[in-house]
Amino acid sequence: MALVLQELNWFDGSKNVTLRRVALQLEYDGTLFSGSQLQKGQRTIQGELEKAWWKFTNEYSRANFAGRTDSGVHALGQVATFETEKQYDIHSSVSALNHFLPEDMAVVSMIDIPLDIDVRRHAKSRVYQYKIKDGGVRSPINRDYIWFRQQALNISSMTDAVMALPFCEYDWSAFAGPVPEGYSTIRELFDCDVERVDPNQVLVTVEASGFLPHQVRRMVGALEKVGCGAISPQDYVDFLDKGPGSAGPTAPAHGLTLLDVKYESSIINWNSNKNRDVL
């Protein structure tokens, strides 16, 4: 992507100001964070990122995110943006931000994007993955990254359940936590996969245009009941026709990771920062 600059005729007494928007791809361990969104008196991803940005650039700037993650949820591909007047070398910028960020979060890539791009509204899809350990000995080392269940899960039944879901625009309010009045609960599901990756580990990967609060965790919580034989695959699908918040239970946050936020390559292409001297 070519460098995008836009001169704004802001009079500062001597010159016009060139404003630029940069996108950051973030990885973080959500264990010790109270979610991604800024909260007074709480340690959050947004709070730590804005603090590091100020220390690096001496600019007070608000970070905008492609989506929210709950307390305890992890990310490999969260996306945030800042607006800036600075023109630093891209690799130095990533290194400097990571110097100021805490050890449980990092900037893994950084590019410039057009000023009219909103990383939330222009995203094509989000991809989440949930890890479950079913059976065997619980793992103390992995306790913050995987949901331990003593009973072995029936992957065939779980697969039948997700394959019967509507892969189209649909009302997902049954799998959502509380939402504001008038908030649309229509989302489009693109993919949902259940895979046993070793004898005692199951991965549930979900991709959609967007997700409602707690949607993935409620989908997994109800899916675990299918795997245990507590409900049938058809019972799982029938939740969709019941009232808001009827599906569940809500699986613990620590098993969930935001893997990726996808965009058209003409909007955000993370490979475009290779071999570039400036942002």
- Banded pLDDT at 19 (limits 50, 70, 90): confident
Same fold for the pair 6-121 and 125-259 = yes
Q: How does residue 10 score in pLDDT terms, banded at 50, 70 and 90?
A: very low
User: Range with the lowest mean pLDDT among 1-15, 113-127, 231-245?
Assistant: 1-15
**pTM for this prediction:** 0.90
* DSSP labels, the chain: -----EEE----SS--EEEEEEEEEEEE-GGGSS-SS--TTS--HHHHHHHHHHHHHS-----EESS---TT-EEEEEEEEEEES----HHHHHHHHHHHS-TTEEEEEEEEE-TT--TTTT--EEEEEEEEEESS---STTTTTSEEESSPP-HHHHHHHHHTS--SEEE-GGG-----TT---EEEEEEEEEEEEETTEEEEEEEES---TTHHHHHHHHHHHHHHTSS-HHHHHHGGGS-TT-S--PPPGGGEEEEEEE--TTT--GGGGTT-S--
20 vs 226, higher pLDDT: 226
Span 6-121: which CATH code? 3.30.70.580
Residues labelled as active-site residues: 70
Q: What average pLDDT does this structure show over 140-155? A: 96
pLDDT at 98 over 70: yes
In CATH, the number for domain 125-259 is 3.30.70.660
Note the pLDDT of residue 38. 93
Say if residue 13's pLDDT is above 90.
Answer: no
Domain ranges of the chain: 6-121, 125-259
Task: For residues 256 and 25, give the distance between their C-alpha atoms in angstroms, rounded to a whole number.
Answer: 18
Query: Can you tell me the distance from the alpha carbon of 134 to that of 150, in angstroms, rounded to the nearest whole number?
Result: 6
pLDDT of 1: 32
At residue 272, the pLDDT reads 59
CA distance 163 to 167: 9
Mean pLDDT lowest among 138-142, 162-166, 188-192, 227-231: 138-142
Q: Residue range 214-232: average pLDDT?
A: 98
pLDDT tens sequence across 57-87: 999 999 999 999 999 999 999 999 999 998 8
Location of structure tokens 């990122």: 49
Residue 15: its pLDDT value, please? 52
